[in-house]
């Protein structure tokens, strides 16, 4: 039977509950346990799929097509746990299921209330997760203790401990120790108040993890232990890491977090801890000499870093793997549209156009794609970025001046990007979306095959519009190759331009499958190309072979 860990947070939001949950999952997997991780979010949206990236950051997509919170990306990057539709629930989805059940007569005319009906539905989400033959389920509770929105979730996990037995359930609480520079001290009072709020609800944390800018001495830990009524050996420090978030599992292991969890839940580890892959990763981050490489990200949501979180992380992974430091030049597409591509891209080593919806900034992205193609700068288009590449190529290489997407111009005369025929009359936009994992067959002898090293792959999608096969013949005649095709629908998944040093667009989101200890092949190859271009630009008379890829992104 599975054991359960609930991770809560207090004082302020964005403390790092997702990273802490992911790192804990990593530690338990290293002991041979099968771990599942999920997040319960307090907002009323049914899922993040319709939320603005400015509000919520990126929408992370699982293989089975769930549109989820970006914290699930941390879970997959730190662990091998398979994520799915049971990995993320919101207040909206919980209430939606309860209301539907009530309308169908499922409560036999009873008054439907937060307790027990909403809390029962929340507990059912956790129990469903455990049905996947897991040893431990880690459930992160979004928001902070004291928020009105979080109360039903906190009440539900209080009940859960009572019903399942305290030997099978433990609570981990993450708080902030603010550092007051004027007096050179950290303050424990916010942590005391946060734990006090939890105790009012009926939850006494088994483990407390405090975030801090500076390490604190033993007297501070003893004070936290005393005033929060938590044993000293269950109080752990999570200081801001010096080099990379991927140090976090090692930081927590050195303090014995995994040992305490196993002891508290009476779990026998299946093997000795092996974090050698993480140790090697961190060693490389800290010690290897890196070459700088600059990648221009031309996007619609540049202002918020989390809007393209997985892309930035995937570039980091490729950099770590190759011994180079990726610096991100974040470029607002509308500014390119206004001032021209050369102003922003003349000093970059590669260009990446990420996904997005809507017409804002599109012409700026098209200008960026054209500049990269005509100046032999490596170009990588992801989802919308593929569509941008196709539109630009059709206009400027195939001389189809009116080429466009029906997403941006419903009456365009040359719809090189369009909805599939069966989607045309669908009024529910969610019904037209390709979501989750789809197969792709790659042509041998192409750049795509070099990146993947195999013919049959699967990648995750989140989009509506497709390359219109009606125009494939003219695109191919002018030098664009459809190097990846969905074998079931014949839809184009990957395009490239062989006459260019490195020019590729993919209809899917490869960033979702990149891990720090297993970087994605396409990102690796892209960053190698950027590094090669930089070397050749420095030494134009030398033909430098592309080295391995890149490290730590800078801002």
Strands 379-382 and 503-506: parallel
The H-or-E segment that residue 76 falls in is: helix 71-78
Phi and psi torsions of 252, nearest 5°? -75, -35
List, by residue number, the catalytic residues: 383, 509, 511
Q: Tell me how far apart the alpha carbons of residues 49 and 66 are, in angstroms, rounded to a whole number.
A: 9
Query: How many C-beta atoms surround the C-beta of residue 456 within 10 A?
Result: 10
Phi and psi torsions of 390, nearest 5°? -65, -45
The mean pLDDT value of the chain amounts to: 93
Torsion sign, CA atoms 390, 393, 398, 399: positive
Quickly state the pLDDT bin for 518 (edges 50, 70, 90): very high
DSSP line for 323-368 = TEEEEEEEEEHHHHHHH-HHHHHTT-SEEEE----SSTTHHHHHHH
C-alpha pair distances (Å), 342 with each of 308, 405, 418, 425: 23, 24, 29, 41
Q: Tell me how far apart the alpha carbons of residues 457 and 452 are, in angstroms, rounded to a whole number.
A: 8
Q: Tell me how far apart the alpha carbons of residues 91 and 96 are, in angstroms, rounded to a whole number.
A: 8
Phi and psi torsions of 40, nearest 5°? -110, 115
Q: Which CATH class is domain 290-418+434-554?
A: alpha beta
Query: What local confidence, expressed as pLDDT, does residue 14 receive?
Result: 83
Residues 262-281: pLDDT tens digits? 999 999 999 999 999 999 99
Q: Are 448 and 483 in contact (CB under 8 A)?
A: yes
Strand partners of residue 61: 67
pLDDT of 547 higher than 80: no
Residues 371-420: pLDDT tens digits? 999 999 999 999 999 999 999 999 999 999 999 999 999 999 999 999 97
Query: What local confidence, expressed as pLDDT, does residue 49 receive?
Result: 87
- Dig out the tokens for 94 from the structure: 């919980």
Query: What local confidence, expressed as pLDDT, does residue 82 receive?
Result: 82
Q: Are 415 and 395 in contact (CB under 8 A)?
A: no
pLDDT of 552 higher than 70: no
Spans of all domains in the chain: 3-281, 290-418+434-554
Same fold, 3-281 and 290-418+434-554: yes
Residues 305-320: pLDDT tens digits? 999 999 999 999 999 9
C-alpha pair distances (Å), 87 with each of 65, 123, 278, 475: 12, 13, 24, 41
Quickly state the pLDDT bin for 541 (edges 50, 70, 90): low
With vertex at residue 334, the alpha carbon angle to CA 550 and CA 409, rounded to the nearest 5 degrees, is 110
Quickly state the pLDDT bin for 2 (edges 50, 70, 90): very high
Sequence-ordered alpha helix ranges (H) in 244-330: 248-254, 257-264, 276-287, 309-322
pLDDT of 202 higher than 80: yes
End-to-end CA separation in angstroms for the chain: 46
DSSP state of 116: I
- Closest of 168, 225, 160, 154 to residue 10, by C-alpha: 154
Residues 431-462: pLDDT tens digits? 568 999 999 999 999 999 999 999 999 999 99
Strand, helix or coil for residue 127: helix
Q: Tell me how far apart the alpha carbons of residues 526 and 519 are, in angstroms, rounded to a whole number.
A: 12
Give the global pTM: 0.92
Mean pLDDT of 476-489: 97
Crossing angle of helices 276-287 and 309-322, rounded to 10°: 80
Q: With respect to CATH, is domain 3-281 assigned 3.40.50.300?
A: yes
Mean pLDDT of 354-382: 96
Query: What local confidence, expressed as pLDDT, does residue 55 receive?
Result: 83
C-alpha pair distances (Å), 224 with each of 7, 21, 215, 253, 400: 18, 21, 14, 21, 68
Residue with tokens 């092949």: 521
Mean pLDDT of 334-345: 96
- Dig out the tokens for 27 from the structure: 């530690």
Q: Tell me how far apart the alpha carbons of residues 89 and 134 are, in angstroms, rounded to a whole number.
A: 19
- Dig out the tokens for 166 from the structure: 């305290």
């Amino acid at each position: 039977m599975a054991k359960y860990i609930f991770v809560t947070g207090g004082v302020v939001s964005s403390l790092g509950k997702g990273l802490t949950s992911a790192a804990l999952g990593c530690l338990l997997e290293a002991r041979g346990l099968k771990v599942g991780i999920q997040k319960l979010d307090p907002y009323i949206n049914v899922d993040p799929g319709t939320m603005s990236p400015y509000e919520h950051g990126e929408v992370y997509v699982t293989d089975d097509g769930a549109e989820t919170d970006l914290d699930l990306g941390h879970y997959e990057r730190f662990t091998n746990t398979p994520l799915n539709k049971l990995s993320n629930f919101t207040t909206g989805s919980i209430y939606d299921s309860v209301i539907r059940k009530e309308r169908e007569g499922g409560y036999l005319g009873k008054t439907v209330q937060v307790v027990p009906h909403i809390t029962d539905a929340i507990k059912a989400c956790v129990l469903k997760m455990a049905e996947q033959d897991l040893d431990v389920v880690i459930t992160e509770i979004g928001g902070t203790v004291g928020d009105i929105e979080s109360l039903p979730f906190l009440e539900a996990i209080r009940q859960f401990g009572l019903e399942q037995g305290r030997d099978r359930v433990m609570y981990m609480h993450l708080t902030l120790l603010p550092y007051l520079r004027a007096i050179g001290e950290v303050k424990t009072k916010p942590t005391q108040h946060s734990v006090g709020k939890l105790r009012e609800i009926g939850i006494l944390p088994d483990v407390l993890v405090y975030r801090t800018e500076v390490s604190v001495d033993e007297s501070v830990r003893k004070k936290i232990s005393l005033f929060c009524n938590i044993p000293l050996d269950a109080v752990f420090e999570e200081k801001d890491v010096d080099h990379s978030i991927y140090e976090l599992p090692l930081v927590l292991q050195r303090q014995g977090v995994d040992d305490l969890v196993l002891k508290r839940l009476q779990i026998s580890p299946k093997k000795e801890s092996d974090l050698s892959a993480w140790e090697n990763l961190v060693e490389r981050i800290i010690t290897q000499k890196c070459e700088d490489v600059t990648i221009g990200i031309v996007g619609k949501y540049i202002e918020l870093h989390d809007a393209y979180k997985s892309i930035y992380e995937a570039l980091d992974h490729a950099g770590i793997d190759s011994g180079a430091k990726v610096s991100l030049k974040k470029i607002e597409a509308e500014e390119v549209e206004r001032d021209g591509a050369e102003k922003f891209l003349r000093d970059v080593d590669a260009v990446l156009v990420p996904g997005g919806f809507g017409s804002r900034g599109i012409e700026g992205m098209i200008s960026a794609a054209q500049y990269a193609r005509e100046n032999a700068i490596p170009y990588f288009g992801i989802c919308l970025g593929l569509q941008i590449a196709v539109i630009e190529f059709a206009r400027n290489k195939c001389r189809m001046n009116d080429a466009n997407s029906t997403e941006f111009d419903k009456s365009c005369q040359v719809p090189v990007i369009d909805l599939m025929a069966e989607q045309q009359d669908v009024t529910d936009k969610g019904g037209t979306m390709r979501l989750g994992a789809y197969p792709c067959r790659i042509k041998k002898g192409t750049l795509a095959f070099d990146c993947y090293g195999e013919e049959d792959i699967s990648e995750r999608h989140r989009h509506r519009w497709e390359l219109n096969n009606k125009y494939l013949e003219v695109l191919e005649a002018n030098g664009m190759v459809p190097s990846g095709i969905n074998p079931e629908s014949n839809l184009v998944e990957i395009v490239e331009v062989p006459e260019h040093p490195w020019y590729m667009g993919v209809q899917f989101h490869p960033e979702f499958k990149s891990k720090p200890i297993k970087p994605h092949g396409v990102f690796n190859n892209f960053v190698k190309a950027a590094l090669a271009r930089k070397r050749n630009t420095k030494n134009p008379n030398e033909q430098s072979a592309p080295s391995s890829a890149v490290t730590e992104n800078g801002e």
